[in-house]
Amino acid sequence: MAKHIQKTLSRNLSVSASVDKTVIRGETGRRTHVGDDFYLVKAWSEVPTLNDMRSHFAAARFQDEIAKVSHRLGNDLVCVRGRPYDETIDGWERMGPPAQAGKEGRYNSASQVVLYLCDSEEGVRREFSLKLGGKLFLQEYILPLGSLQLADFSVPDPNEFTSAVFDRAEISGEDSRIGRHDFEFSQLVADLVREGGFQGMLVPGVHGDSEFRYLNVVVFDPPAASGWRVWSQKGKGFRNVVV
């Protein structure tokens, strides 16, 4: 039975599975145990409507876990935002969050504005997975950890339930890897973190390798949270690169 589970996970979820029934999603350093919590979260992520998903008892359990999460400590966090080459990008002011809501992402609905960053330039490159010769615009930001409350989900070995939540969030919206074809589950995860009093969160990026790992940094409602312009390194932090 264990071998059958491992083969099914590897084929349908594109993950590697080890003999102790864990899944490894990319090179995050995080291992998710395939047990009761894994299947509970899987069922939660596949309920038919957002209302049912929000009222599911697993949502309340995740809220309890959020209450235990530490915010990222320190003075400042240097981050990088990337955008693919676009002729309309002519300076640092074009490298902020969207000017208005309208386009959904993994951790934001179409009615929300979110600032997506990485904790390194290399992390940005890997997130975009551009072919050789592809062009990126990069912008450096410095986030004030003393005043910005970021939930830190970057620990390599969180509890099994939390690990399973982000395992499912990372594959939301991918038709062949989850029972639903949208971002509703991962967006709900972000909403619950926001409702837990955090202004953003840090989660491991999945495109690293054994020698390089990075973090994705998600800032909720950036225009209202001190202002992204204050965090931007403006002209000195703006550049374009060729992959």
Residues 42 and 102 in one domain: no
From the number of C-beta atoms within 10 Å of its C-beta (0-12, 13-18, 19+), residue 79 rates as buried
Q: What residues contact residue 211 under an 8 Å CB cut-off, 6+ apart?
A: none
pTM (2 decimals)? 0.83
Residues 124 and 161 in one domain: no
Rounded Cα distance, 55 and 46, in Å = 13
Together in a domain, 212 and 141 = yes
Q: Is residue 183 part of a domain?
A: no
- Residue 2: which of 16, 19, 25 has the closest Cα? 19
Domain annotation covers residue 190: no
Query: pLDDT tens for residues 124-155?
Result: 988 887 666 688 999 999 999 988 999 999 87
- Is 56 in the same domain as 170? yes
56 & 123 share domain: no
**Are 87 and 162 in a shared domain?**
no
For residue 193, being part of any structural domain is answered with: no
Q: Are residues 45 and 114 in the same domain?
A: no
Question: What pLDDT does 9 receive?
Answer: 36
Residue 31 located in a structural domain: yes
pLDDT 10s digits, 4-16:
333 333 333 434 4
Q: Within a 13 Å sphere around the CA of 3, how many CA atoms are in the beta-carbon half?
A: 0
Range of the domain at 161: 2-69+155-178
For 71-111, the pLDDT digits (tens) are 888 889 999 999 998 889 999 999 999 877 778 889 999 99
Asked whether 124 and 232 are in contact (CB, 8 A), the reply is: no
Q: Do 132 and 205 fall into the same domain?
A: yes
The answer to whether residues 208 and 110 belong to one domain is yes
**144 and 226 fall within a common domain:** yes
